[in-house]
């Protein structure tokens, strides 16, 4: 990588680039002008160039971009292809929806275990994985060394469970709770999904009718 | 409002301010210094001042912030309190999780109808609302005038359904699909939740171990 201080806003755009390039490749396109790509991605051609330059740059003057190559490069930048073993904690409505809805394999993650503290769920299966009791988690982690955990648990359980998971060697968290993991565990790698905050953002946009923010 | 060109990044921080102020108020606190508040919110005191100044400013020199007043002001900025009638389209795993998991009423939304094109779901209830067939949507919208729609439908159904909803008077969309509503319907108000993009962001962060982005 050319520069290791990539801003979070660049990183946040790459998944969309990857997704749209995947669609273009599936549609049978092999190359694309920077102007056409910028229309597809809804950003300016100069923004794309600037974003890709953070990683060394990929376009050729007068040729544009080779879709398959660019997609592969972005996949590699995003770490798609290295498979991260992942466990899901919390098998309530949200956990079940995440387990069934998200295409983990396509995104470089392998869901290898589902855990819930409620023994009511024990023995049930989601996507062919059994829901296991939290008691069996330490042994499972020792044997299988998952690196990533998805947290679909109540906020109040989060401090204790994150602390346990860190001890068990989990490094990164896809966090659906409101618990501020990053402040409490500075070495943790965290991506938060805060559905309530997202809906409040819509509330604001709706109130002020501003579609251009 | 002091300035109507508020950046999206400020808007994105306000829901978190609101949430944390709600917790502080519930914990019985009535006022807070700007330094203490900045620790709770994990942003600098100057950032908070700057964010709130966009809306006219609320702190008093030497006093800090009155928690209840500040919370009320932010609620009003976010449009929490004005209730937006909302319908959910798509009652699959994700739709069901959203319907049961998100505290709509607390956030200024009232879920008044759930629709799915799959008649298999017809007659089932989520949170005491029946799942209705799409056929009955036009009449329902005419009678009840919902303003907001939550889209938990397959990407490929989105263009047709968004077009229908716009005709039925829906103004704002909480969009869980990958369909780019804003580009196709410039007057629509859109907040996207893209779970795949979020997981790819975690993949990147995990790969480079950068916790400081």
Q: Quick check: B101 contacting A, CB < 8 Å?
A: yes
Question: Running DSSP on this structure, what letter comes out for residue A82?
Answer: S
Contact present, A205 and A213 (Cβ < 8 Å): yes
Question: Measured between alpha carbons, how far is residue A14 from residues A21, A75, A160, B67, B202 in Å?
Answer: 10, 9, 33, 38, 12
Asked if the ipTM is above 0.90, the reply is no
Which residue has better confidence, B32 or A166? A166
B203 interaction partners in chain A (CB closer than 8 Å): 78-80, 84, 107-109
Domains identified in chain B and CATH numbers: 8-77 (1.10.10.10), 84-197 (3.40.50.720)
Tell me the pLDDT band of A210, cut-offs 50, 70 and 90. low
Identify the pLDDT of residue B111.
96
Cα(B211)–Cα(B75) distance, rounded to whole angstroms?
Answer: 31
- Residue A212 — very low, low, confident or very high, per pLDDT cuts 50/70/90? very low
Name the pairing type of β-strands B109-116 and B129-133.
parallel
Chain B residues in contact with A193 (beta carbon < 8 A): 193, 195, 198
Which of A72-76, A154-158, B21-25, B120-124 shows the highest mean pLDDT?
A154-158
Please give, rounded to a whole number of angstroms, the shortest distance from the CA of A68 to a CA of chain B: 18
Q: Is there a contact between A211 and B189 if contact means CB atoms under 8 Å apart?
A: yes
Closest by Cα among B98, B204, B201, B77 to B149: B98
pLDDT of residue B210: 55
B172-202 pLDDT per residue, tens: 999 999 999 998 999 999 999 999 889 988 9
Residue A95 to residue A86: CA distance in whole angstroms = 13
Query: How confident is the prediction for chain A on average, in pLDDT?
Result: 87
For a pLDDT cut of 70, what percent of chain A falls above it?
93
Task: Calculate helix-pair angle for A195-208, B8-26, nearest 10 degrees.
Answer: 120
Coil, helix or strand at residue A130:
strand
From chain B residues 8-27, the ones with a CB under 8 A of any chain A CB are: 8, 11-12, 14-16, 18-19
Closest chain A C-alpha to B63 CA, distance in angstroms: 26
How does strand A125-126 pair with strand B189-192?
Answer: unpaired
- pTM of this prediction? 0.77
Q: Is the pLDDT of residue A1 over 50?
A: no
| Chain A residue at shortest CA distance from B180 | A42
Kindly state the helix (H) or strand (E) to which residue A159 belongs, with its residue range. Answer: helix A158-167
pLDDT per residue as tens, chain B (213 positions): 444 567 777 888 888 899 889 888 888 888 888 888 888 888 888 888 888 887 776 767 677 888 988 888 888 888 877 789 999 999 988 999 999 989 898 888 999 999 999 988 887 899 889 999 999 999 999 999 999 999 999 999 999 999 999 999 999 999 999 999 998 999 999 999 999 889 988 988 887 765 444
CB B78 within 8 A of CB A204: yes
**What was the pLDDT predicted at A5?**
63
* Closest of A120, A59, A88, A38 to residue B199, by C-alpha: A88
User: B94 in contact with A at a CB cutoff of 8 Å?
Assistant: yes
């Amino acid at each position: 990588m050319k520069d290791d201080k990539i801003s979070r806003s660049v990183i946040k755009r790459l998944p969309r680039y990857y997704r749209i390039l995947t669609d273009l490749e599936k549609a049978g396109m092999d190359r694309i002008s920077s102007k056409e790509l910028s229309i597809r991605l809804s950003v300016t051609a100069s923004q794309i160039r600037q974003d890709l330059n953070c990683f060394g740059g990929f376009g050729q003057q007068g040729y544009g971009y080779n879709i398959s190559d660019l997609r592969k490069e972005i996949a590699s930048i995003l770490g798609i292809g290295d498979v991260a073993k992942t466990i899901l904690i919390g098998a309530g409505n949200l956990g079940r929806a995440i387990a069934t809805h998200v295409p983990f394999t396509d995104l470089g993650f392998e869901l290898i275990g589902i855990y819930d503290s409620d023994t009511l769920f024990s023995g049930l299966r989601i996507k062919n994985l059994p829901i296991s009791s939290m008691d069996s988690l330490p042994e499972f982690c020792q044997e299988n060394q998952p690196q990533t955990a998805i947290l679909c648990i109540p906020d109040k359980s989060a401090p204790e469970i994150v602390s346990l998971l860190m001890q068990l060697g989990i490094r990164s968290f896809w966090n659906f709770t409101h618990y501020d993991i990053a402040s409490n565990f500075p070495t943790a790698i965290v991506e938060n999904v805060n559905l309530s905050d997202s809906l409040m953002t819509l509330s604001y946009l709706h109130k002020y009718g501003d579609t251009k923010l």
